[in-house]
Amino acid sequence: MQIRDGLSESLGPEYPRKSPAVEALKPYPMGMRVLAVVLAWLIPGAGHFVLGKFGRGLLFLVLIAGSFLLGLSLHGRLYAPVADPTTLLHVDLISVLWSFAQVGTGLCYILGHVLGFGANYRPGAPTYEYGNTFMFLAGLLNYLVIHDAFDIAAGRKR
C-alpha cells in the first residue's frame, strides 16, 4: 500500500517531493494491535512506543499528559457523571460529556480520582475554566492518538 503524499502536492511545485516508499506496510499481529490500542489509552503515547515510534510516543506523552497536569494545576475539575433525577435519563448530560472527554487520558484520569487530585478544583478561581479546557483537550486529543496507533498497527500508515 502506497501513501499518497497529497499534502506535499498542495504546497506547490517548488517543494521537493520524495518518492513514496515502495514497500507495502504490513499490519502487526492482532495481539499487538490490541495491546497498542489499550496502552495508547492507558498512557498517552505508550501505544506508539510499543509500535516502535518512540519520537511520536514521547511527543504525545509530553503534550497530552502535560496538558492534563496543566489543567489540574489551573484548578480544573475532574468530572464524573452526576445523577440528576429531574432529567429524562436521570443523569446530568454535561457531566457525562465532560467525563467522556477526560476519560480519554486513561491513567491520568484514574489516578487523578484515586489520589484525590480532582478534589482540588476551585470554580471561583480565574483559571478554573482554562483548567477544565486543557483537561478536556488532553482526553480528546488522546482519542485521536489512539486512532493513530491503531492505524499504524493495522498497516494503514507509517
List interacting residues with another protein (CB under 8 A): 3-8, 11, 15, 18, 20-21, 56, 59-60, 63-64, 67, 70, 126, 130, 133-134, 137, 141, 144-145, 147-148, 151, 156-158
Write the CB contacts of 49 (distance below 8 Å, at least 6 apart in sequence): 39, 57, 58
In this complex, which beta carbon is closest to another protein, that of residue 96 or of residue 154? 154
In this complex, which beta carbon is closest to another protein, that of residue 95 or of residue 133? 133
Q: How many of the other CB atoms lie within 10 Å of CB of 69?
A: 17
Write the CB contacts of 11 (distance below 8 Å, at least 6 apart in sequence): none
Secondary structure class of 91 (helix, strand, coil): strand
In this complex, which beta carbon is closest to another protein, that of residue 93 or of residue 156? 156
Write the CB contacts of 76 (distance below 8 Å, at least 6 apart in sequence): 121, 127, 128, 129, 130, 131, 132, 133, 134, 135
Q: How many of the other CB atoms lie within 10 Å of CB of 139?
A: 24
CB of 113 to another protein, least distance (A): 23
In this complex, which beta carbon is closest to another protein, that of residue 31 or of residue 55? 55
CB of 24 to another protein, least distance (A): 14
CB of 33 to another protein, least distance (A): 17
CB of 79 to another protein, least distance (A): 19
